[in-house]
Amino acid sequence: MWSLALVVLALVIVWMTNYAYKWKNPICNGKLPPGSMGLPLLGETIQFFKSQTTFDIHPFIKERMTRYGPLFKTNLVGWPVVVSTDPEFSHFIFQQEGNSVELWYLDSFMKLIGQQSLTSNTGAIHKYLRNMIMDHFGPEEQKEKLLSYMENMARENLSIWAEQESIEVKEVATTMSFGLGSMKLMSYDPSKYSENLKDKFTSFLEGLISFPLDIPGTVYNKCLKDQKRAIRILKEMVKERFYSDKKHGDFLDVVIEEMKKDAPLFNVESAAYFVFTVLFASFETVSLAITLAIKFLSEHPSVLKDLMVRAAQIILSLYALFCSEHEEILKKRENVGSPLTWNEYKSMTFTSHIIDETLRLGNIVPLVFRRATRDIQIDGYPIPAGWTIMVCPPALHLNPEKYEDTLAFNPWRWKGQGSNTASKNFMAFGGGMRLCAGAEFAKLQMSVVLHFLVTKYRWTKIKGGEVVKTPGILFPNGLHIKVTEKI
């Protein structure tokens, strides 16, 4: 009996040893990039989700960059991954979708956004859906309709902010951006539903960047529950709209028209997931960017001064009058209270620099995933087909070879570089065919809010502002400010 038990134990040990060896040394055609695959099954997932309290590159990435270089292998949640912090290779990967790579997300992420959302579609279908969004939210719509709508939104919300003793910026910015996004997407009226849709989205980002453990009491589990409730509300809206002849002039009208075609792209469920994804993308990143911009401006008064007041400077013994661009906009008007124009928006050069710098330092989208569909060679290393490639924008945005004093908030670094949406060294909105369709929409919304905030109001930081990155951004103590109308 004991002899049999010893034989079984020996076989188990041999199997486990062999499994552990294969885990740490995956089969490939050549020598894989340097790095560690971590523990069997778990990989290096725990280290990956460790939090930090600075805007620096996440320790998981930074330590491995130092040890292995700009390209290294790891394993996250059971998936073999090659991490790229190299601008050239990261840019190459974005250009290769549909050729040697495909869009990919962790299984935990896909459970949240749905298999049939915009982010999951590829090729011609993705291009078609992207064009649907651009037709409704693109530059022409921004110029003709959305600018005035955003102005009204900003005026109304800032007036409400000023009536309160203090506000928590992320919370009120989320309310404002969600109100804009949900109205333009689907004419959402919260009074018609027993549950408020916004509340179901609030925990979504936190769940996306949490450890994917789906058991009661975890952040991820709560996020899944909120997502299911949100999808249920959206499915009700889609069904109601599908059987109604009434037009609302919103994006859901476009989706419903698509559903009524002979060969529709959507059914009720896929339409709900599609709207869910677009709605989330339309408000969460914008509200976070607005919060970060106000945080940075509050902590860098010299930047705020350049935005708000006229200043004189002596440059090379020549006297130059340097006017704040927002006060200059008001000064040039015949009527100070006139609506904001498209040309005035386009004149906000320094504001554009502030937004770019906020996105560079804040790194709202810390990771982008693709999967190799065939073997890829890079610097003599193979990336086997089926492996995940993780591009790390913070490593590009905090590269000291490109950006001097990387952790300093310095909008002047963008002077003379024009409008930045995507480049090899700036990937705040992704890149390639997956470049965020709402990039310019987000910048316009931020610019409008900042314009009215600095021309009509003053604000004082009350408390908070600390951040935790996990690797996404959270404000554990909020960011509380007092907003006061100028007299």
Binding-site residue numbers for heme are 436
**Is 376 within 8 Å of 100 (Cβ atoms)?**
yes
Rounded to whole angstroms, how far apart are CA atoms 373 and 97?
Answer: 9
Rounded to whole angstroms, how far apart are CA atoms 55 and 439?
Answer: 22
* Residue 389 DSSP class: E
**Is 283 within 8 Å of 274 (Cβ atoms)?**
no
Q: Could you tell me the two tokens for 215? A: 């058991």
Query: Exposed, middle or buried by CB within 10 Å (0-12, 13-18, 19+), for 320?
Result: exposed
Give the residue from 434, 407, 375 showing the smallest Cα distance to 104: 434
Phi, psi of 429 (to 5 degrees): -115, 25
Element counts in the chain: helices (H) and strands (E): 20, 14
Q: Could you tell me the two tokens for 88? A: 């050239």
DSSP string, 95-112: HTBTTTEEE---HHHHHH
* Cβ atoms within 10 Å, residue 362: 25
Distances (CA, A) of 485 to 320, 340, 464: 30, 19, 22
Rounded to whole angstroms, how far apart are CA atoms 289 and 17?
Answer: 48
Strand 79-84 vs strand 71-76: parallel, antiparallel, or unpaired? antiparallel
Find the helix or strand (DSSP H, E) in which 75 lies. strand 71-76
Distances (CA, A) of 287 to 116, 151, 158, 172, 430: 26, 16, 14, 8, 18
Rounded to whole angstroms, how far apart are CA atoms 70 and 397?
Answer: 14
Find the helix or strand (DSSP H, E) in which 318 lies. strand 318-322
Give the residue from 360, 357, 441 showing the smallest Cα distance to 57: 360
Place of tokens 């037709």: 135
Three-state DSSP class for residue 485: strand
Rounded to whole angstroms, how far apart are CA atoms 85 and 71?
Answer: 6
**Is 278 within 8 Å of 118 (Cβ atoms)?**
yes
Q: Which residues are annotated as a binding site?
A: 436
Phi, psi of 354 (to 5 degrees): -65, -40
**Is 390 within 8 Å of 369 (Cβ atoms)?**
yes
